């Protein structure tokens, strides 16, 4: 494995970063050898599976005043993955993809402020070039947080109130195999294309921090077709709260 990182400060606010990662290693052990009491879940691939080769290139521009933008490009060869041997028997087996996979990722981050209000945005675009659907990812992912923050009661209390929205486009996410404890490629079910909205309040009084979060509160009025993975529903509306009290000697 080889890593090379370079950083170039343009000025006090702007920075350019670059990283190259080269990897040439055998797949994880579950792909190579697996033994169990189930007849169909026993395999040995130490001789016929080749090393996975990964070439990853990352470039990033950082600026608090302007924007943070990054591009990541990866070239994958001999990618190992799990998939059903056939849809009829639902038997999950390891495979190795001999064709090249190209994976492009673009990411933008920017926070806008107006007085005591702020809007924090993270946007990501992904594109995979492959002959077969081996690596499945959402094409577009976003995370946006609108919040208000201020000091109250002569700065004795710091409070932050806001709304967080997460979204990703529909895609054939990998399914989970409890028997293997691994995710596997599937093309029967899509997940995504629904928003996840959270309302939160954070407060701090001296060494005490308090938080309250209404997580996924929109589940009651945006439908119930939401999943964390195929066959695994995402949690409904839930309220979380907590208190952190730091003691100092």
The ranges assigned to domains in the chain are: 2-245
Distance CA 147, CA 196 (A): 16
Q: Quote the pLDDT of residue 133.
A: 93
Q: Nearest CA to 128 among 95, 106, 143, 107? A: 106
The pLDDT-based confidence of 152 (bands split at 50, 70, 90) is confident
* 212 CB-side CA count, 13 A: 5
pLDDT in tens, 57-105: 999 999 988 999 999 999 999 999 999 987 667 789 999 999 999 999 9
Res. 248: pLDDT tops 70: no
Q: Quote the pLDDT of residue 215.
A: 93
Pair 203, 209: CB distance under 8 Å:
yes
Q: What percent of the chain has pLDDT over 70?
A: 98
Pair 41, 34: CB distance under 8 Å:
yes
Measured from the Cβ of residue 111, the count of other Cβ atoms closer than 10 Å reads: 13
Distance CA 85, CA 184 (A): 11
Kind plus residue range of the DSSP H or E element containing 162: strand 157-168
Distance CA 150, CA 201 (A): 12
The pLDDT-based confidence of 225 (bands split at 50, 70, 90) is confident
Q: What percent of the chain has pLDDT over 90?
A: 75
Please give the class, per CATH, of domain 2-245.
mainly beta
14-25 and 2-9 beta bridge pairing: antiparallel
234 phi and psi angles, rounded to 5 deg: -75, 155
The pLDDT-based confidence of 222 (bands split at 50, 70, 90) is confident
Res. 249: pLDDT tops 60: no
Q: Quote the pLDDT of residue 87.
A: 66
């Amino acid at each position: 494995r080889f890593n090379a990182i370079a950083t170039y400060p343009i000025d006090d606010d702007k920075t350019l970063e670059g990283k190259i990662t080269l990897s040439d290693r055998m797949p994880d052990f579950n792909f190579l050898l697996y033994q169990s009491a189930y007849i169909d879940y026993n395999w040995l691939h130490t001789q016929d599976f080749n090393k996975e080769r990964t070439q990853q290139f990352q470039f990033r521009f950082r600026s608090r005043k302007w924007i943070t933008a990054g591009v990541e490009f990866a070239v994958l060869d001999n990618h190992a993955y799990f998939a059903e041997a056939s849809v009829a028997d639902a038997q999950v087996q390891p495979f190795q993809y001999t064709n090249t996979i190209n994976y492009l990722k673009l990411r933008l981050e920017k926070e806008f402020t107006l007085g005591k209000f702020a809007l924090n945005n993270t946007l990501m675009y992904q594109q995979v070039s492959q002959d077969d659907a081996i690596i499945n990812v959402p094409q577009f992912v976003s995370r946006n947080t609108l919040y208000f923050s201020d000091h109250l009661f002569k700065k004795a209390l710091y409070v932050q109130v806001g709304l967080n929205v997460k979204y990703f486009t529909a895609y054939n996410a990998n399914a989970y195999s409890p028997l293997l404890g691994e995710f596997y490629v599937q093309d029967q079910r899509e997940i995504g294309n629904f928003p996840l909205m959270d309302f939160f309040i954070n407060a701090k009084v001296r060494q005490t921090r308090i938080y309250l979060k209404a997580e996924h509160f929109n589940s009651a009025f945006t439908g119930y077709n939401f999943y964390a993975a195929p066959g695994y529903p995402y949690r409904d509306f839930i309220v979380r709260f907590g208190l952190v009290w730091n003691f100092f000697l």
